[in-house]
Amino acid sequence: MQIILLNDVPKVGKKFESIAVKNGFARNFLIPKGLARLATADALKNIEAMREKARLMRESRDAELLKKAGEIEKAKITIIAPANAKGALFAGLHKGEIREAFEKQTGIAIPGDIIVLETPIKETGEHRISVAIGDTKTSFILNVEKEKKEKAKKEEKI
């Protein structure tokens, strides 16, 4: 079955590609989840317009972010996460958590896809997080601190 992908699908293809997949995969997974649509004659004609619209939106987003590149580079974000005594986090920090903390602490909304993170962050301390805006690369500092547990005070009853 010939389909057009509406989003990037790992191990299948990129957004707006027209590809052939098995009927069951398309009907039972891709189309119901909104990841693809049938590649009809009209859809194939409109695919170029969809690519162009997505490119223009990406360029305008990147232009806005480039204006704020200096602010992004000066940013120092702090995330407090549970960790063991050696500083190893119980759960790694991913792009989503970093993006949310960045937006909350700086007021600058950045999409998660511009954050370059090879592997999740799994230990406390300072980390330099790279950001790729089009061809421009910048970075900011992420400080991961151990969550402090407050011990409940026991009141003595007399």
pLDDT digits (tens, 9 = 90+) for 97-140: 999 998 999 888 888 788 888 889 999 999 998 888 878 888 88
pLDDT digits (tens, 9 = 90+) for 2-31: 999 988 898 999 888 889 999 999 999 999
Q: Which of 38, 33, 32 is nearest to 19 (CA)?
A: 38
CATH topology of domain 2-60: Ribosomal Protein L9; domain 1 (3.40.5)
Could you tell me the residue ranges of all domains in the chain?
A: 2-60, 69-146
Percent of the chain exceeding pLDDT 70 equals: 94
Gap between the Cα atoms of 111 and 100, Å rounded: 10
CATH topology of domain 69-146: Ribosomal Protein L9; domain 2 (3.10.430)
Q: Which pLDDT score, from 0 to 100, does residue 150 have?
A: 59
pTM of the model: 0.66
